[in-house]
Chains A and B, each alone.
Chain A
Amino acid sequence: MAVAATTKTGARLSRAGRRPPTPAWVGTVPFFAYVGVFLLWPTGIVIVDALKNPNGAWTFSNISELGNPLVRGYFIGSFKLALLSSVAGAVFGAILAYAVAAGDPDGTVRRLYIAVSGVLAQFGGVTLAFAFLVLIGPVGLLFHASWYFEFPWGIGLIYAYFQIPLMVLVFLPAIDGLKVQWREASENLGASAWQYWRHVGGPLLMPAFLGATLLLFANALSAFATIQAWENQIAYVVPQQISTALSSEVGLTNVNVADLLALGMVIMVAVVMTGYALLQRRAARWLR
């Protein structure tokens, strides 16, 4: 009751100029406070600490670490693995999502796929790596994959296990947006299946497909526990080397180098995001 009264008089008061209207940006405060505390602030700490030495003085010598061929190797490894597992996950996930979307929208199969995908997309870490090791590792129960320990193939396969279901989940809504009528219309005009996908379905889905692939890329880039459980006597990717820099017990710890490696990952994601934005603009040209 009190609320209703305020609303009524509030409108009149503000018209009279006695209570200025709430600025529009006030509504965004919770969002920006959240982003500030959980994204910008930590990123700022990483950047500042990457430019300091362990005694807290400013230095640029950490940056020279990026020229070290070993360090470059970790970044190349991270990029290879994220690219392989995101592209493979996106392609297979999209095909699977299309197959699911073609079925009965309220059917058991679809509900089962979504439920299972929701679970498997979260399956990772030690349990997943161990499951693969026992199934297809050097003394696997199913078969002995000789390439199991080859980077990035073995770990790429393991990552696909959670990347494909994730793709199904994020891409299914886009496929659901394709109207049957569009397909019928193009068929009525004499378009072949290839022509339909080349000129209608493909362009419609491309922005969503690229966005989902980027999500998968970032997902693979930041994964740590799974690859650490797969092989941990050699560091292949940046997160593994960050772990060594933070917790080496043989005297190779350097928090500032860890920060620099983290900064390198931030830059890597920024570059990929920019590429994505450019591609997206091109893919969505027909929308404008």
Chain B
Amino acid sequence: MNALVASAKKEGTLNVIALPPTWANYGAIISAFTAKYDIKVNSANPTGTSQDEVNAVKQENGTAAAPDVLDIGMAVALANTNLFAPYEVSTWSDIPTAQKAANGVWVQDYGGYMAVGYSSKFGTITSLNQLLGPQFKNAVALNGNPTAANAALNGVMMTNLAEGGTPDNIAKGVNFFAKLKAAGNFSPISATGATIKAGTTPVVLNWDYLNLGSYVGVTNWKVFVPSGVALGGYYAQAINKNAPHPAAARLWEEFLYSQAASGGQNLWLEGGARPVEQPTMTTNGTINKTAAAKLPAVTGTPVFLTPTQATDAANYLAANWAKAVG
């Protein structure tokens, strides 16, 4: 570890990409890393998608500006494993087997559950069917186009599960959005902090850690996870195999998976995301209990889409989404 720190400090720089400062507490994580190791962090294209990250690895391959580390959705991670270097962090054994590649080319890092965030002017919402009511005119938005953005695809999948659909067939979710559209309640603009502050997207389907009042920047904001629908999703870390700063990249991973009070796992938790080592940390007592208690309540058996289920859902959406809501 000391040798790693020494060579990382010698490199002096780390290139990260597509990490919005308010997303899962990344702003604080980056400053904490720089403060601890005195390594400069270049944060490129903070609003980019997972695919943008992979595109940057390919297009900037061999240059000093290429991303060292990636934080990507599982679909993109599994499709591009040939671009990544295997690495096992020192807390490797604390990461559940299902949440890491056996050879360490990708490791899930943090995640959450699909949730409905809404302005408290609507009172209390407890079921998705309430969203079909007349007071929600033009109110209900996703975080992007579900054929392009993973969070939006999972938003549709959440309504699918709530409507009695299965993870294998997203049709009932698309049907729910057709009903929302027919009721005039579907809002086709992508929800951002700005649209929420302006009041134009008062109901947003998104991951719970992106749907907190603190994240979207409004105080009168509530979150609920539909009863019995625990649709989870985790992002994954990967190291560019041709990283311009290989030691700094590995030190960054060690920092992210550290269980220290001010390590990456607890910092993600403070940002409302559920770190992958949370079960172990709850048992061994290293978890930040205050932050853990603030997470929205989830009931039911957690569901994680398999790669096949995610692909099937994407293909169904490619053919039917525009017809349902266009």
- Contact surface of A with B, Cβ cutoff 8 Å: 70, 73, 130, 133-134, 137-139, 149, 151, 229-236, 243-244, 246-253
Contacts and interface: CB of A to CB of B under 8 A. Distances in A.
A234 B189 contact: no
Interface residues of B, number: 45
Contacts of B72: 249
Contacts of B50: 249
Interface string B288-326: 000000000000000000000011011101110110011
Contacts of B325: 233-234
Contact of A244 (B52, B145, B189, B313): B145
Nearest to A77: B326
Contact of B52 (A151, A247, A251): A247
Interface stretch (B90-98, B195-203, B266-274): B195-203
A236 B72 CA distance: 27
Contacts of B318: 70, 252
Given A138-B138, A149-B138, A252-B318, A232 B199 contact: no
Contacts of A249: 49-51, 72-73, 75-76, 148-150
18 contacts: A70-B318, A133-B189, A133-B200, A149-B189, A230-B189, A233-B146, A234-B145, A234-B322, A235-B145, A235-B147, A247-B148, A250-B75, A250-B149, A250-B317, A251-B311, A252-B148, A252-B314, A252-B318
A270 to B, nearest CB: 27
A222 to B, nearest CB: 20
Contact of B146 (A149, A243, A250): A250
A250 B188 contact: no
Contacts of A246: 51, 55
Q: Considering the complex of A and B, which 10 residue pairs feature the smallest CB-CB distances, nearest first?
A: A138-B138, A231-B188, A249-B50, A250-B314, A247-B51, A248-B148, A244-B148, A251-B75, A232-B190, A233-B188
Contacts of A70: 318-319, 322
Contact of A233 (B52, B138, B152): B152
